[in-house]
Structure 1
Amino acid sequence: MLSGSGRVGGSGGVGADGGSGGVRADDASSGGGDATRPALTDGVRIPARSLLLFLGAIALGSLVGIASPDTGAALGDGVDPTVLVLVTVLFSELDLSGLRRLRLRGASRVLGAAWLANFVLMPLLGFGIASLFLSGAPLLFAGVVIYFTAPCTDWFLGFTRLAGGDTSLGAVLLPINMVTQLLAYPFLLSALVHTPAVADPLVIAETLVRWCVVPASLALGIRLAVALLLPRGAGLRIRAVTGRLVPLVIAALIVQIFAANVGTIRDHADAFAALLGAVILFFALGYTLVDRIARALGFAHPQRALLAMTTAARNAPLMLALTTVALPDEPLVAASIVIGMLIEFPHLAGITWLLTRRRPARVRRIAAREPAPTV
């Protein structure tokens, strides 16, 4: 998720385990959708291929960025449009009718748990881990704490979908996460580097419009056009094709981000080991804690997957854009955010694969009877 002024380019019912309280697993494998939707199959067979696709994208982007920094910077300039395409594609295939069912079946509990995990549990965990690994490097400490405290507001929804998670509730989380972190960021920055805390309402409004209202409006326009101009069968086929684009768009985004930013690791190799340890421990402990909380609350697989993804994916691009504007003379702060982001993508690919293997057996059997779409 990027702000309008910066980018991450070259410049800068019953749960599956018998618990209650979540949405039923057989009702909402992807936010309350029909069992024949492509997302159901994607959540079982596609991630194995997607894992290879994403790892290949990481390798390709890294090679391009190292071999030709200018090309990497040019690819980085395309991150904003790619993110916009990804969010629009995801919004265009959401089953919005599922929101009514979700409201009746504990959606507020899921949203509340996600908010507390993202803005209380994960920041506390991140602060403790950063203190353990980076207490002697205040600028790296500040950057990694900023990274740890900001949940993603865009591409996590793509990984949620691939893992069979609840994308309808995930779409509701987007503006909640965005507004909360934009309001909190000035105070966090003030506490870390002693700058004045000012939350600019114009920045918040512009960011919400650019990254929530615009893609949602585009998606609604596409859905209305398809419904009005095409027969129902053609519309369903287009929706299926759109669903298959998600892994490819994510892979393109990974190539762009790595190509534009892999040089940061090379330039700050001496700090990479400590940052690597901190970020890996943060992701491992965070996933374990959040999974236990979701199970204790009785969430079904779609909501457990959503909670896992929203707490695993961080909003590095937006934090990087804001931080480079607020602290233009502190490259180490920005470098730690970039390094965290580069470690994040293999982690997201890995837990996507792990979550699909842990889906309820009944949902797997349904999906196994369907033809697997190609990536």
Structure 2
Amino acid sequence: MPGLVAWLEKHQVACYLLALLAGALIGLGFPEISGPAEKAINPVLGLLLYATFLAVPFSRLGPALKDWRFLGTVLGLNFLVVPLVVWMLSRLVAGEEVLLVGMLFVLLAPCIDYVIVFTGLAGGAQGRLLAATPVLMLAQMLLLPFFLWLMAGPEVMGVVEWEPFLSAFIWLILVPLLAAGLTQAGAARTVLGQQISDAVGAAMVPLMMATLAVVVASQIHGVSQELGSLLLMVPIYLLFALIMVLLGLLTGKVVGLDAPGRSALIFSGVTRNSLVVLPLVLALPAGFELAGLVVVTQTLVELVIMVMLVRLLPKLMAGA
């Protein structure tokens, strides 16, 4: 078993690409699986985040939350820089209201879940990013309505239901975080607790593979059905990621963040809250059905980018 765990960790990027491919093939070959797979996303993602939080020493979260330079930079990048970038990119679809609304929802909301996982895989400061998560979540709940009103108009604001934000924060952040804290406390006191902690840690790569495969399998068929309309969004999402990587590198260097901090900053700027905003978009009225697939398309593009960044970002940090 230790040999298998070591092999998976060594070849994790290839494993994640394989999981993406497997999810795509299953979703396209068996369209009826999309419903059950979509229901499985949150449970699998919750387990993945539990394993991620378990690997973060809770004793370090207090000092991480007091790192005002990092926290301020993450907030500034996500809520000052990103909206400007999104507004400029949104001009490319300004005449297509449904595409515009879906794009704004997903690109204006910074990720608060699996970004922590990818940050850790790339050697970034996942503890500092985890400490910033509640602030990021609260800020986007307050600011997303304003940005949507500014860029999409007041008519969109009147039909949005915001409860999924709170639900996602409870089930994808608070519950896994509490469970990880209890497990860490048990590991320090009992042999069984340590065994559970070790087993969960060993399952990290398989859990990530399962999450990637389930997300892709649940959404790929719907995307393929509207491929013509959605192809326009792919270069926009790729351009957004490229811009945010460059701006993240520049911003982190200007404010004097260390390499792990810059990596975490870049992942936070690139990764969006697609799994949380998707229920909001799906609750939009008739006529906006395609907006959900616009969000899903961003998820699929982003997952490939994240897997690539896990391999590429440490090299960028070394050369910066």
TM-score, with structure 1 as normaliser? 0.76
What letter matches 1:172 in structure 2?
A
2:38 pairs with 40, 58, 76, which one?
A: 76
In structure 1, how many angstroms separate the alpha carbons of the residues matched to 2:14 and 2:133?
Answer: 27
What letter matches 2:49 in structure 1?
V
1:210 pairs with 171, 178, 193, which one?
A: 171
Alignment of 1:153-164 (within 5 A): 153-164=112-123
Cα contact 1:140–1:332 (8 A) shared by 2: yes
Per-residue deviation, residues 166-219 of structure 1 (Å, max 9, x unmatched): 111111122112122222333344441523459988765544332322111111
1:258 pairs with 216, 224, 234, which one?
A: 216
Per-residue deviation, residues 298-325 of structure 1 (Å, max 9, x unmatched): 2111101110111111111111111111
Residue in structure 2 matched with residue 267 of structure 1 by the alignment: 225
1:292 pairs with 250, 265, 274, which one?
A: 250
For the aligned residue pairs, the C-alpha RMSD in angstroms reads: 2.7
Farther-moved stretch of structure 1 (143-152 vs 239-248): 239-248
Alignment of 1:228-247 (within 5 A): 228-230=189-191, 235=194, 239=197, 241-247=199-205
SS at match of 2:134: helix
Alignment of 1:325-336 (within 5 A): 325-336=283-294
Shift of 1:82: 0.8
What stretches of structure 1 of length at least 5 have no aligned partner? 1-41, 362-375
Alignment of 1:81-120 (within 5 A): 81-102=43-64, 107-120=67-80
- The number of equivalent residue pairs is 314
Cα contact 2:102–2:294 (8 A) shared by 1: yes
Farther-moved stretch of structure 1 (135-144 vs 285-294): 135-144
SS at match of 1:281: helix
Cα contact 2:61–2:131 (8 A) shared by 1: no
Cα contact 2:42–2:172 (8 A) shared by 1: no
1:138 pairs with 85, 97, 100, which one?
A: 97
Per-residue deviation, residues 286-344 of structure 1 (Å, max 9, x unmatched): 11111111012221111011101111111111111111113354112111111111100
Percent of pairs with identical residues: 21
**Mapped pair 1:172 → 2:131:** yes
What letter matches 2:290 in structure 1?
L
Farther-moved stretch of structure 1 (175-184 vs 335-344): 175-184
SS at match of 2:232: helix
**Mapped pair 1:338 → 2:296:** yes
Farther-moved stretch of structure 1 (189-198 vs 344-353): 189-198
Farther-moved stretch of structure 1 (67-76 vs 201-210): 201-210
In structure 1, how many angstroms separate the alpha carbons of the residues matched to 2:270 and 2:308?
Answer: 11
Residue in structure 1 matched with residue 12 of structure 2 by the alignment: 50
SS at match of 2:277: helix
Cα contact 2:124–2:259 (8 A) shared by 1: yes
Change (3 A) 1:200 1:330: closer
SS at match of 2:283: helix
In structure 1, how many angstroms separate the alpha carbons of the residues matched to 2:62 and 2:279?
Answer: 36
Shift of 1:128: 0.6
What letter matches 1:170 in structure 2?
L
TM-score, with structure 2 as normaliser? 0.88
Per-residue deviation, residues 153-174 of structure 1 (Å, max 9, x unmatched): 1000000010111111111122
